[in-house]
Structure 1
C-alpha cells in the first residue's frame, strides 16, 4: 500500500473566538460553506476524493467485498403490505434495482400491478420514493419524492385506477407525515421556502401544517396550525383510520416531549380547523395509536418511563384519561389497533417481543417470533381481519408474515431467496460491565465454525448511543460479507438509546454523554478480553450521532482501535446548532452558548480533542454533498484537522459521495460501492483477509473441518 499524500488545506489562523474564557481556534471554518456555492470548497472536495479514491483502489479486499456484497444483496425484497379499499400496496425490489418500485394488488391474491417506478426518475438512480399513503378507498396514492438524499420532499398524487399522475405538487415539505382528509385532500408539514442558495444549510424554523385540496395549486393551501410566536416548535399531523380525528403533535427538539391537539374532522363544516387541546406542557411522550368513534388510544411515558397505553373518550361529557395497558417490565416499542385487538411490541434486552391484548387491556396471546430479532409493521385498522408484519435478524433479511386476527394464525407472505446460508452464522447476546459498573448488552454474530472454535478474529464494533434510538437486530449485506470472510460483528447497546426506556436515554445525554463513550470503550475491551478479537484487530463504525461516537472514542482511546469509519458524523460540538435541523439536537447535546453545556461539549467534541503526535487508528470519514441533516462541513473540518495533526503511520481519509444525503434514498449501486470501500479499508487495517470468492460460507466451514 502506498501511503497517501494529503491535499493541502488552507488554514485561517486568525479565526479564533473566546468562548467563556477559553480561546477556540477554528482555522477550517471556511469548509462549512456549501460545496455548491463556494468554488474553493468544491476544489477541496475534488482533491480529497482523488487522494481517497487512489488509496482505496489499492485495497486488496475491496473488489471481493464489492462483488460479494452485491451477490448477497441480490434478493427479492418486499415491504409489509398496506390495505386500503380492498387493495394491497407494497414495495418490491427484484434485488439490485437502485430504488424499490411500488405495486398494488386488487385483493390479496390479485395480480401484481406496477404503480410507481422511481428507477425511471433519474439517470443516476438517486431520486427515491420516500413515503406513501393510499387514500381511504384506495383510489388515490399520496407519495413523497426525495431527490439526491435531501430531507426536502416533493409531494405528489397518483390515480390508482389509471396509474396516471394528478397535477398536484407540493414543495418545501420536510419532516412531514402524510395524512388524507377524506378523499378531498391531505395534511402535510412544511417550512417557509428558504432563500436562494440556502436550501441545504439554513436553519429550519416556523414549521406549519397545511391542507392541500386536490386539484388546486399549492398557493391556495389552507394554513391549519402554526405557532409564529414560537418559531422553534415543529408540528406533524396524522389522521385516525376512521378519518374522524386529525391529531397534531408538536415538539421543540428531539426529546419525546410533546403537546397534542385534535381536530374533529366530522365538525369541520361548521368549526373549520378548530383545535382542541389534549396535552400541553412539553413534558412527556404522547403518540397516537388510533381511534374508534370518540375514543383515542395513545402510547405515553407519562408516569411510565417504560411506556404505557392510555385512552380518552372525547365524546364523553367530561373526558378523562384511563389506563389501557399498564407499564410492564420491558419498554413498549410500538402499538396498533387491528380488528378488535391491540398489538403491542416490546423490547426485551433490545430484541423484539410482540403481544396481543383486547381493547380493555386484557392479555390475548403473543405473536411467535423467530428468536433474536426485530419486528416491524402490524399496520391495520379497527375491524380489519388481518395485519402484516416483518421479522429480521442479523443473519436473516426481513420475512413478511400475515397474521389472522380472528384465529391468531400466521402465514408467510414473502420470504427472501438468499445467496448465503443463514445457519452458517451464530447470533448471540452477551452482557458486559462498563466503567461505572453498568451492565450493557451486546449482540455478536460470527461464522459457526469460528464461534465453535473460539478463534479470535478481526471484529467490527458498531454503536450509536443517542436520541432515544434503540439499536435492534437487523440485516446488512456488508456485515454478512464481513463475517463470511472470517470476521466478527458486534453491536453494543450503549446508553443514550431507548433500549431500556427513559433512564437508559437519560444516562447517555447532556452531562452524562461521557457514559456513551465509556460504554463503547468498555465494549471494545470486553471483546479483546473475551478472546473474540485480538489486540490490533478491532474496527469501529457509527453513523450520524454514531459518527460523533467514533470520533470521540478515537480521541480518547486511539490505542484500542485499529481502524474506524465515522459516517456523516456530528464533529463540531460547538457549532452543530447553526445549520438545518441541528438546533433540535440541543435536547441530547445541550446548548453551545450556555457555559455549563459548553464545557461538557468542549470536553468531547471530536474536532476539538484531536491529540497531535499520537498514533491514531486508520480512519475513513464518509459523508455526502447533499446531507442537509448533518451538513458535510462537520466531516470536512474534522478530516482537515486529522490530516494536519500528524497521527502516525495509519491514514486519515475522507470519502465524499455526490448526489447523496444523510443515508435515506441512497441508490443500491452507490450503497454497494460505499460498503466495499469501507469494508475493504477496515479489513486491511484489522488484518482480515478476504477468501476466494468461489468459497461460500458453507464451503469454508467444510474446508476447515
Structure 2
C-alpha cells in the first residue's frame, strides 16, 4: 500500500494570484444605502449549571431547514454579492488572479504504486482537480479522472474528494461528491482502460486496500444518516469490496465500538487497511473522522474469512497520530508520552504500544508524519515551520535525508515495494517543487513533474520573528512582504491564525496573496497556541479551559506588529478559517478597536451549540461539552456569537459560508453575522457571503478565484 500525506489545507493553493498593482489605493468601502435583511429576534434561554444564556437567533438552527431561513440566507448572500462587486479593487484583482492561476500547474500529490506514479493536480487553465497517471515515473502523464466530465449543464460542481491507488497500480478507489458537500460516492477505476464502476452511494471515505490489491476497505456512514443531525457521523462501519463482485455482497469487517477494551467514543469512525508483504491488518478508531484514537490489529486471513480476532495495540492515552505495517512490525507515531512525538516499533504477533521499542526518540523537532518504503520508514519532522526528512531503516538505524532547499516539506509518498520517497517543497515566496529521495545516497533530487510558472517571485521575501505573549510565551510569526516594504506604521496588514487540533499551519506558496503584497500589503501567519507547531504541549495550551491563550496570542501578536511599525491603527485585518474562526471572532470581540476588518471563513463562532451539529460529536475532546460544568464555562468563553455586545464599534466583517457545508453548518456563521449586524455601531460593513455550490472548501478554480478576490479586495478596502 502507498502511504501519503498532503498539506492539510492544500486547497488553499488554488487561491492563486497576481503580481501587479492595478487599482487606486485611496478608495474605501462604504455601507450601501440599502442594508441586508434583518434577522428576526426570537430569544431562547438555556440554563447551564445555574448560568442563563440567551440565544436570539436559535430559530436559524431548525431541522429541516425552514423557508424563512432559506429566504434570509439568500437575501444576505445577494446583498453581500452586490457590496463585494462594488469594492474598488475587486474587478482588477480578479483579472490578475485569473491570469496567474491560469498559468500555474498546481500539483497536490504524487503517489507511487505498482511502478506507476499517480498525480493529483489542477493543470494550468483547468477548473477542477484531476487525477493523472504516469505508467512509469518518466513517461508522459495521461488523464485518468476528471470530475467535470459527464456532468450535466447547470448541475452542481463535482469534486474528487479522495483517491487511493491499489498496491499493484491497476486500480484506483476514489470518492466523488457534488456541490462541495463531501458526501462521497465510492468508485473504483480500472487504470488500464480508465473505466470507473460505482460501488456505493452510501457516504464513504477511503480506508485502504487489501495487501494483494484484490479488495478495498471503505468507511461508510449508516444508510439512514441524515445530514445536519447530531448523530450523522455515528454508527458507521468499515466494509470490504472485492473486485469483480456485486457491491451488494460487500462485507462489513469493522464496526463502531468493535474490539476488546474499547474506550467509549461518541463519534467513532472505524477504518481498516493492510500492507503488501504483511499478513496483518490494522483497525483504527478515528475520533471526529480524523484523529486516530484507538488502534487494533488482526490477522488478514481471519478478517477476510469473517472471523477477525482483534487485539488492542494502543488506547487513547497513547496519543497515536498514525500507524503503519511492515511485515510483522507495526510502526506507531505517537505524542502521548512526549511533547514532540516519537516513533515506536511494535511486534505485530504479541506486542503493544507499551512494550514496543522506541526507534526514533523525541527531540527538538516535531515529528509529523511517516511512510514506509522498501528501504525503510521515512519520517517528516518540522522545526520552526521548516521541514526535514529522516529514514529509519529496518535494522532501526536512523539517518537524515540531504535536502537541496530549505522550506516546507509536504505530500510525502512511498510504496513498500520501491526504494525512496516522493515529496514536494515550497515556501511562502517560491512555488512548489517535486523531489525523489535516492535511497542509496539518501539525498533528494529535484524532478520536473509539472512545468514551472512563468512569473517570478524575486521581489518577495519572508521575515521570521517571534512575538512575546502576555504570559511569556513566544509566538512564531512568518511575515511575507515585498523587499521594498518600509516599517512606516501604515502598511495594510492581513494577520492569519488557526490554533486548533494540534494542526501545524503550513501556509506554503499561495500566489493569490501576492496581489495583496503588490498593493502595499503585508501578510502575517501567527503560529498561536492550540496548533502543533511546537508540539503537543503547545496544542494543549490552547484547548478547552486554556483556549483563551489562542486568541490572546493573536491580540499580542497584533500589538507587537504595531509596535514594530509593520502596520498601525486602522490598517490591520484578521483572518480565521474553520476552527480558526474562534480566534478571529474572539479577538475582535475582545479588542474590536485593534482591527479594521475581520474575515471569518466557515468559522466556528457558536461553540455552545456546535456539538449539536453533524460535525459536533467528537469535538468535545478539543473544545469541551456543555454536559460538564467546567467545559461549559470554557465553551462560553470561546463563543464569539455570545461575546458580541450591543453598541460596540466592531470592525468591518466578511463572514463566509458554503451552503452545503457539513463541517460547519451555515447557521453557525449565519448567527454570528446576524448578531454583528444588529450590535455594531461602527457603520462598517458586515457581510455574509454565501456560495451555493460549495461546502467547507471551494469546489473549483473559478470559485476559489472569486473567493480570493472577494477576501483580498475587502481587506484592502478597509485597511488602506
Quote the residue 2:418 is aligned against. 384
- Whether 1:140 aligns to 2:171 is yes
Root-mean-square deviation over aligned CA pairs: 2.4
Quote the residue 2:101 is aligned against. 73
Quote the residue 1:438 is aligned against. 473
Shift of 1:681: 0.7
1:176-233 alpha-carbon deviations (Å, 9 max, x no partner): 434345333211111212366x467753211211112234444322111113585633
Shift of 1:677: 0.9
Shift of 1:79: 3.7
CA distance in 1, matches of 2:98, 2:208: 33
Deviates more, 1:620-629 or 1:236-245: 236-245
Q: What secondary structure is seen at the aligned counterpart in 1 of 2:484?
A: helix
Quote the residue 2:253 is aligned against. 224
Deviates more, 1:148-157 or 1:273-282: 273-282
Any stretches of 5+ residues in structure 2 without a counterpart? 1-28, 259-263
Quote the residue 1:301 is aligned against. 335
Of 209, 212, 217, the residue aligned with 1:182 is 212
CA distance in 1, matches of 2:121, 2:315: 42
Relative distance call for 1:637 and 1:288 in structure 2 (3 A) is closer
Deviates more, 1:386-395 or 1:400-409: 400-409
Relative distance call for 1:257 and 1:317 in structure 2 (3 A) is closer
CA distance in 2, matches of 1:483, 1:533: 13
Q: 1:350–1:493: 8 Å Cα contact kept in structure 2?
A: no
CA distance in 1, matches of 2:351, 2:548: 50
Quote the residue 2:511 is aligned against. 477
Quote the residue 1:100 is aligned against. 129
CA distance in 1, matches of 2:142, 2:342: 40
- Whether 1:417 aligns to 2:446 is no
Quote the residue 1:85 is aligned against. 114
Q: 2:597–2:715: 8 Å Cα contact kept in structure 1?
A: yes
CA distance in 2, matches of 1:147, 1:678: 24
Of 189, 194, 202, the residue aligned with 1:163 is 194
CA distance in 2, matches of 1:10, 1:518: 30
1:240-262 alpha-carbon deviations (Å, 9 max, x no partner): 24353321111445895622112
Q: 2:285–2:294: 8 Å Cα contact kept in structure 1?
A: yes
CA distance in 2, matches of 1:358, 1:215: 37
CA distance in 2, matches of 1:601, 1:317: 40
Q: What secondary structure is seen at the aligned counterpart in 2 of 1:465?
A: coil
1:637-659 alpha-carbon deviations (Å, 9 max, x no partner): 11111111133121111101112
Q: What secondary structure is seen at the aligned counterpart in 1 of 2:201?
A: strand
CA distance in 1, matches of 2:528, 2:564: 18
Of 659, 666, 671, the residue aligned with 2:704 is 671
CA distance in 2, matches of 1:121, 1:538: 45
CA distance in 1, matches of 2:326, 2:633: 50
CA distance in 1, matches of 2:126, 2:402: 32
Q: 1:224–1:273: 8 Å Cα contact kept in structure 2?
A: no
Shift of 1:355: 2.5
Quote the residue 1:685 is aligned against. 718
1:574-600 alpha-carbon deviations (Å, 9 max, x no partner): 110001121111111111232222122
CA distance in 1, matches of 2:325, 2:271: 18
Deviates more, 1:518-527 or 1:176-185: 176-185
- Whether 1:532 aligns to 2:566 is yes
CA distance in 1, matches of 2:107, 2:637: 45
What TM-score results when the alignment is normalised by the length of structure 1?
A: 0.91
Quote the residue 1:695 is aligned against. none
Quote the residue 2:607 is aligned against. 573
Relative distance call for 1:633 and 1:273 in structure 2 (3 A) is farther
Q: 2:434–2:448: 8 Å Cα contact kept in structure 1?
A: yes
CA distance in 1, matches of 2:254, 2:650: 51
Any stretches of 5+ residues in structure 1 without a counterpart? 688-705
CA distance in 1, matches of 2:352, 2:493: 59
1:301-346 alpha-carbon deviations (Å, 9 max, x no partner): 2422211111122247999411211111111011222232332211
Q: 2:30–2:684: 8 Å Cα contact kept in structure 1?
A: no
CA distance in 1, matches of 2:318, 2:43: 45
- Whether 1:208 aligns to 2:237 is yes
Of 61, 72, 82, the residue aligned with 1:44 is 72
Q: 2:374–2:419: 8 Å Cα contact kept in structure 1?
A: yes
Deviates more, 1:179-188 or 1:51-60: 179-188
Q: What secondary structure is seen at the aligned counterpart in 1 of 2:163?
A: strand
CA distance in 1, matches of 2:95, 2:538: 40
Q: What secondary structure is seen at the aligned counterpart in 1 of 2:405?
A: coil
Alignment of 1:509-588 (within 5 A): 509-588=543-622
Quote the residue 2:271 is aligned against. 236
